[in-house]
Structures are given as structure tokens and as C-alpha cells.
Amino acid sequence: MVRAIILVKSPKKLIAARLRKVSCVRDSFPTSGQFDAVAIIEVEELAKIKDIATQIQKISGVERTETMVEVQ
């Protein structure tokens, strides 16, 4: 199992709730600071992370994302 955190920049107030609807998103919550929400994802293969990030980037209102993969 591969885990990652995707930081999301979006002026939309309910972006964290929208992120929870994406497959493989295990948790999502709003944040303060440079990014507006965080999505915690779990996938079977490293290559799948790109697919999930692309799905998130297609959500209306998402301006930018940054992905950090867990290192073990």
C-alpha cells in the first residue's frame, strides 16, 4: 500500500467535502495557510497516485495541487 498527501489550493469553501468523493481518498480536511485542503490517499501502486491527482485537479475550483508521497 502506498500513501500520499495531496495539498489542494481552491477558493471553494466545501473543497474538502468534494475531495472525499474521489476514489482512494481516505480522509480530507480544510487547512489554513498556503493550501486550502488536504487529501490523504492510499493506493496499491505508486503509478496510481498520478491518476488520483489528475482527478482532483479536474474538480471545479481547484487551482493547484502538490503531492507528497510517504517514504518508508
Kindly indicate the confidence band of residue 52, based on its pLDDT and cuts at 50, 70 and 90. Answer: very high
d(CA 46, CA 11): 29
d(CA 48, CA 53): 9
d(CA 5, CA 40): 5
Tell me what pLDDT residue 12 has: 87
* CATH class of the domain at 2-69: alpha beta
Q: What is the pLDDT of residues 26-49, one digit of tens each?
A: 999 999 999 999 999 999 999 999
30 touches 63 (CB < 8 A): no
d(CA 32, CA 47): 29
pTM over 0.75: yes
